[in-house]
Amino acid sequence: MPSRIRKAPMPTARFTLDPAFTVGDVDPRLFGSFVEHLGRCVYTGVFEPDHPAADERGLRRDVLDLVRELGVTVVRYPGGNFVSGYRWEDSVGPAHERPRRLDLAWHSTETNRFGLSEYLDFLRKTDAAPMMAVNLGTRGVTEALQLQEYANHPAGTALSDLRVAHGDKNPFGIRLWCLGNEMDGPWQTGHKTAREYGRIAAETARAMRQFDPGTELVVCGSSSRSMPTFAAWEATVLEETYELVDHISLHAYYWPEDGDVDSFLASAVDMESFIEDVVATADHVGARLKSTKRITLSFDEWNVWYLPEWEARAKTLQQADWPEAPRLLEDCYSVTDAVVFGSLLIALLRHADRVAVACLAQLVNVIAPIMTEPGGPAWRQTTFFPFAQAARYGRGRVLDVRVDGPTYATRKYGEADLLHATAVRAEDGSVTVFAVNRGRTEPLPLEVALYGLDVTRVVEHSALADADPDARNTLDDPERVLPHPVEGAAVRDGRLTAVLEPLSWNVIRLA
């Protein structure tokens, strides 16, 4: 009789937390983001002098508030593909005297109204640190050194005095620099082979360190794990630069390929393997060089991005005019996207021992957690919330989490865990569990054994989930999706128990 057939209950997903078993300390720079001169990220995004909310420098106060709320710690700039044609000297001095230029990367016109000084002002107002890229596409060592001197030398030389004359008396103190962007990609202006790039990166690194030995440098890894040159590229580039740089970059974007949502939900499986492959490759080079130094990772572009849609659009762009700040890459994120996004954050935290820097690409309007309308409001996308919560509560030491629980079948990754999780212990002993239920239909019971932790109660269980996984925040309905409190999580007899809603991002705070 069909009415008597009962579905077996979903098995419980379990793991143990013990402060004796840790991954590593979270570098606050794991919560970085990225502002590129691309589409409306800068113009009518962070910068819109005519907007009613603009401050005296043209920055949108409503956007500054949201960036602060997001908790971004470092902002990579000015690109991206844009940096491979970037002329830094165009972006300084009186704004009305700055030249208009063609931007080959995005087939746009760059007005340079927003430049270096405005970027630093934006950082000061959002409590974020700079992460500046130099152009190793169309330029090289000389221009990188000139920019470094203009930005960081106190005064008394031609370039530092020029900065002072431009109104910035104090040096910018930019410590973290990227040596170009995605130089392995054939689309990159000035694309190079691994050996060619490794050589110019090494020369530039050596010179920048001559200027300041404390300079922290990111060398370009592959623009994606699926590049045909992946791993060989990293090995060759690091052979040339190993002792001269601190970090190697990784970039990854995910979308539901061929509509395969189950694999999309397991995207972090790929992200974690990518990280582990790059660590293995870097350590292999280190071993060959008999070096005791360990290269760390700068995952300086990551996100959900509906890339095929952009690639189709890009073809039409080539034939168009050269517009100023066109609407490009303005993906509108669903609840499903936010759950995948949260899982990518979990993947980064689970590798906090080797990932020192990570940048959500990008910050405003362009595949971004914050959207704006020119002359109109700013609002939070669904992806805003996992980032803001992780940036706030993901500070401290990551505890080792080994999940034992139910799995589901995916086309791309085989059997994947329904639960993806990590936990971070703060200095005051409180613990935050970040967890994603990848299951689309069933709630997932969770049980966490707590050893050696001084936590006795649940402060909060917050979830991002919705009866409609396709729900989104839009201009017309900017608060359609918000995180909500969940009842029922408890700590008893050294065990945390909770239930995770289907397709959900969860933050469970214990004190």
Catalytic residues: 182, 301
240 interacts with ligand AHR by CB under 6 A? no
Q: What is the phi/psi pair of residue 151, to 5°?
A: -80, -40
Rounded Cα–Cα distance for residues 184 and 191 (Å): 6
Spell out, one character per residue from 279 to 298, where the chain touches ligand AHR: x when CB under 6 A holds, - when not: --------------------
Rounded Cα–Cα distance for residues 269 and 263 (Å): 9
Residues 173-192 that bind ligand AHR (CB under 6 A): 181-182
Record the tokens describing residue 120, joined without a space: 């630093």
Report the DSSP beta bridge partners of residue 297.
248, 355
Q: Which stretch binds ligand AHR (CB under 6 A): 79-87, 124-132, 167-175, 347-355?
A: 79-87
If the CB atoms of residues 295 and 328 are measured against ligand AHR, the closer one turns out to be 328
Residue facing ligand AHR at closest CB distance: 80
81 interacts with ligand AHR by CB under 6 A? yes
Rounded Cα–Cα distance for residues 275 and 280 (Å): 9
If the CB atoms of residues 329 and 388 are measured against ligand AHR, the closer one turns out to be 329
79 interacts with ligand AHR by CB under 6 A? yes
Rounded Cα–Cα distance for residues 503 and 451 (Å): 28
110 interacts with ligand AHR by CB under 6 A? no
Q: Given candidates 223, 263, 365, 389, which one binds ligand AHR under the rule CB under 6 A?
A: 223
If the CB atoms of residues 111 and 362 are measured against ligand AHR, the closer one turns out to be 362
Q: Which stretch binds ligand AHR (CB under 6 A): 74-82, 94-102, 193-201, 496-504?
A: 74-82
End-to-end CA distance of the chain: 49
If the CB atoms of residues 37 and 380 are measured against ligand AHR, the closer one turns out to be 37
If the CB atoms of residues 249 and 422 are measured against ligand AHR, the closer one turns out to be 249
Least separation in angstroms between CB 331 and ligand AHR? 11
Is 246 in contact with 230 (CB distance < 8 Å)?
A: no
If the CB atoms of residues 220 and 486 are measured against ligand AHR, the closer one turns out to be 220
80 interacts with ligand AHR by CB under 6 A? yes
466 interacts with ligand AHR by CB under 6 A? no
**377-386: burial string, b at 16+ Cβ within 10 Å, e else:** ebbbbbbbbb
Match 């090995």 to its residue by tokens.
235
Residue spans of beta strands (DSSP E) within 89-165: 101-103, 108-110, 129-134
Strands 32-34 and 355-361: parallel
Q: Which stretch binds ligand AHR (CB under 6 A): 9-17, 78-86, 388-396, 415-423?
A: 78-86
Total Cβ atoms within 10 A of residue 374: 13
3-state secondary structure 144-197: HHHHHHHHHCCCCCHHHHHHHHCCCCCCCCCCEEEECCCCCCCCCCCCCCHHHH
DSSP annotation of 43: B
Residues 300-319 that bind ligand AHR (CB under 6 A): 301
Q: Which stretch binds ligand AHR (CB under 6 A): 75-83, 121-129, 154-162, 205-213?
A: 75-83
381 interacts with ligand AHR by CB under 6 A? no
362 interacts with ligand AHR by CB under 6 A? yes
36 interacts with ligand AHR by CB under 6 A? yes
Closest CA relative to residue 464, chosen from 369, 352, 377, 353:
369
Q: Given candidates 361, 364, 435, 503, which one binds ligand AHR under the rule CB under 6 A?
A: 361
Binding site for ligand AHR (CB under 6 A): 36, 79-81, 181-182, 223, 301, 361-362
